[in-house]
Amino acid sequence: MGQPRKTSDIPPGQEDPLSFALSRRDARTLDMVREAIHHKQVLLAYQPVVRATDMRTPVFHEALLRVLDETGRIIPAREFMGTVEDNELGRQLDCLSLEFGLDTLAAHPDLKLSINMSARSIGYGQWLKILNSKTKTRPDVAERLILEISEPSAMQVPELVVDFMDDLKARGISFALDDFASGFTNFRYFREFFFDILKLDGQFTRNIHADTENQAIAGALASMARKLDMFTVASRVEHPEDAQTLAALGFDCLQGFLFGAPTVSPSWKSKK
């Protein structure tokens, strides 16, 4: 039996079948996202973040970006964000997410929202233009806005993130560090960030009621955040036993399918 060809054995100009399939898939994804952006065929799905001591009461909602394909099917971010996050389309999606989120905050004065953004959008002219234009005459909107930046994204340009946060915090905007502990945080920068909210990555919360190692890790992180005056959120909570364990470990809030799946039609949206 012959040995499988190595990538280095493939003649120039030819691709192995897997690479070719992946590149075709990525190209189709880019085309879909590009069309959705051009026609503003995007919307936000909202997921509640509840208080750990009263799991029926949302403290805020996370606004999660969705795009519509040519058939009108709703596509969640996990199916396209990895392909577009590091290019211009990712910046444009951040702009639309911010625009739609700020419009929602303006329409619902009692609502507080977190909106995801990449650290790569810091300094992006259109993003800043949207933020300034929609909060200039509505400072209350800025005060009810939470910007979520994932730990891997923040650690790409930590100095830029620190300065960016300092500028916008002066306007009442809060910041959440998403996917915390998903990577290797440089704690020197972590001390300097001063995030308002720390969101523990879901890999530590799933089945935590039966995992003593993750209990130790999550408890230590909750304690550290509390000493740094950070509000804590445990994400991807799906079972009551995990919710009870996380509450006992000292987390302020919980988020996950146990309390509600992301929806494009939340109950409060009809109360405009």
Please report which residue ranges of the chain form alpha helices under DSSP H.
17-38, 81-84, 88-107, 125-135, 139-143, 151-154, 158-169, 187-193, 212-227, 240-248
Q: Report the amino acid identity of residue 109.
A: P
Instruction: Quote the tokens at residue 181.
Output: 């502990």
Q: What is the pTM of this model?
A: 0.85
CA 236 to CA 263: how far, in whole Å? 15
CA 217 to CA 62: how far, in whole Å? 25
Q: What angle do CA 248, 249, 251 make, to 5 degrees?
A: 95
What is the chain's length?
Answer: 272
CA 177 to CA 198: how far, in whole Å? 5
Q: Report the amino acid identity of residue 251.
A: F
Q: What is the pLDDT along the chain (272 residues), one digit of tens a residue?
A: 445 444 444 445 555 554 544 455 556 777 878 888 888 888 999 999 999 999 988 999 999 998 887 778 887 777 777 777 777 888 898 999 999 999 999 999 999 999 999 988 998 999 999 999 999 989 999 999 999 998 888 888 888 888 999 999 999 999 999 988 776 555 666 667 789 999 998 899 999 999 999 999 999 999 988 988 999 999 999 999 999 999 999 999 999 999 999 999 998 876 65
Domain containing residue 243 = 33-271
| Distance, CA of 114 to chain centre | 8
Is position 8 within any domain? no
Distance of CA 68 to CAs 33, 36, 135, 188, Å?
8, 6, 28, 41
Is position 79 within any domain? yes
Which CATH number is 231's domain given? 3.20.20.450
How many CA atoms lie within 13 Å of 83's alpha carbon, on the beta-carbon side?
Answer: 18
Domain count, the chain: 1
CA 108 to CA 210: how far, in whole Å? 40
Is position 28 within any domain? no
Question: Residue 84 in contact with residue 29, Cβ under 8 Å?
Answer: yes
Is position 118 within any domain? yes
- CA-wise closest residue to 181 among 221, 219, 154: 221
Is position 257 within any domain? yes
At residue 22, the pLDDT reads: 45
Is position 126 within any domain? yes
Beta bridge partners of 174: 146
Is position 174 within any domain? yes
CA 23 to CA 202: how far, in whole Å? 29
At residue 27, the pLDDT reads: 67
Is position 14 within any domain? no
